[in-house]
């Protein structure tokens, strides 16, 4: 097994992004605390009867919203759009301004510039807004009509659980009771399942780091419900914390062009869920293995069974453990930034 600096390991285990040890408790607490508020907002949605739900965010918060999008898109008949803040500002079709839209915007800090700007645009268009943030402080919370706070550093798991409960409540009020009931039941069981998968996650993460410890570039693959997590892990986690390059691709699209890099035996981390995209993921995995790719596979079915939309929760722990070990092995302090939080991205803009 790889040897890790115990001092840096402990620091990285306590970094702001590291939440795998408290994720179960925090999901349990926030859902219990917010239950009545989530029901109230769901009733507002039912009464307002929007033509679509618009999900807006940036970075990891955009990924959080992806699970809500995937649930509505695949399990309900409720119209939904999922966009980045700048994408919404740049090319939102004009005819949508006439539709009855409710926007749900997510930001860990409540001050993410792209999301705050999108919230202002929503207000100008007359869209009612729901903000999903860590606390009640921040510019986004000041702009929103309805607030959901999870009061936790678990910006992915707690935020996503609250969003999915809200959308399940709304779906139930709309008459889609079977899927709504299944989602809420699985969310209630989730904390216990997260606690139970720690040992398995530690084993798989340790083996994966040992196999890929010397790599400085990863292809990160995912599809279906786990695409958002794969995208976050490659696009923000590896580059933001491990300070290495990564390319995030859908497993089902690997056959177009990327096949030609296989002779160089690339390092790949694949996230695999349990939804209908699974067959494509397994096919890609088998092909790439046969052509020499070095793979670490995080498969949700190896940890616990749950609603297919909740597969990212099953892979949250193992992905964090890999990241923490890899960063520690290469001497990376996960709370040390060189650019982010240091310099404005655009003139006059605060980062968070």
Predicted structure pTM score: 0.95
pLDDT at 299: 98
Least confident of 57-66, 88-97, 140-149: 88-97
**pLDDT value of position 239:** 94
Q: What topology is assigned to 23-193 in CATH?
A: Rossmann fold (3.40.50)
Question: Which tens digits make up the pLDDT trace of 84-97?
Answer: 999 999 988 777 77
Q: Which CATH fold would you assign to the domain 6-16+197-329?
A: Rossmann fold (3.40.50)
* Domain range annotation of the chain: 6-16+197-329, 23-193
Give buried/exposed letters for 329-344 (b at 16+ CB in 10 A, else e): beebebeeeeeeeeee
Residues 6 or more apart whose CB falls under 8 angstroms from that of 173 comprise 42, 43, 45, 46
pLDDT digits (tens, 9 = 90+) for 277-333: 999 999 999 999 999 999 999 999 999 999 999 999 999 999 999 999 999 999 999
Answer yes or no: same fold for 6-16+197-329 and 23-193.
yes
Both tokens of residue 122? 């929503």
Question: Mean of the per-residue pLDDT values for the chain?
Answer: 94
């Amino acid at each position: 097994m790889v040897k890790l600096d115990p001092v840096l390991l402990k620091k990285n285990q306590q970094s702001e992004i590291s939440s795998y040890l408290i994720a179960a408790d925090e999901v349990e607490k926030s859902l219990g605390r917010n239950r009545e508020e989530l029901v109230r907002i769901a009733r507002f949605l039912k009464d307002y009867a929007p033509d679509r739900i618009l999900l807006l965010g940036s970075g990891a918060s955009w990924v959080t919203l992806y699970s809500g999008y995937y649930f509505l898109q695949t399990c309900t008949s409720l119209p939904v759009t999922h966009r980045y803040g700048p994408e919404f500002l740049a090319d939102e079709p004009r005819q949508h301004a006439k539709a009855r839209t409710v926007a749900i915007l997510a930001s860990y800090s409540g001050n993410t510039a792209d999301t705050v700007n999108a919230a202002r645009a929503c207000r100008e268009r007359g869209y009612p807004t729901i903000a999903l943030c860590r606390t009640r402080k921040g510019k986004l919370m000041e702009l929103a009509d309805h607030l959901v706070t999870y009061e936790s550093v678990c910006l992915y798991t707690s935020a996503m659980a609250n969003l999915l409960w809200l959308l399940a409540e709304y779906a139930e009020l709309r008459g889609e009771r079977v899927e709504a009931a299944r989602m809420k039941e699985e969310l209630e069981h989730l904390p216990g399942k997260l606690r139970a998968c720690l040992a398995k996650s530690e084993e798989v993460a340790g083996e994966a780091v040992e196999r890929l410890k010397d790599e400085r570039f990863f292809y990160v693959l995912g599809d279906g419900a786990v695409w958002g997590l794969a995208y976050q892990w490659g696009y923000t986690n590896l580059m933001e914390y491990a300070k290495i390059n990564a390319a995030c691709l859908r497993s089902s699209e690997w056959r177009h062009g990327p096949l030609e890099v296989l002779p160089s035996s690339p390092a790949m981390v694949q996230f695999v869920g349990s939804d209908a995209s699974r067959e494509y993921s397994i096919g890609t995995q088998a092909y790439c293995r046969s052509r020499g790719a070095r793979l670490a596979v995080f498969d949700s079915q190896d940890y616990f069974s749950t609603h297919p939309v909740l597969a990212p929760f099953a892979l949250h722990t193992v992905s964090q453990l890999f990241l923490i070990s890899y960063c520690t092995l290469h001497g990376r302090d996960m709370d040390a930034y060189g650019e982010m939080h240091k310099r404005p991205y655009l003139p006059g803009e605060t980062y968070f």
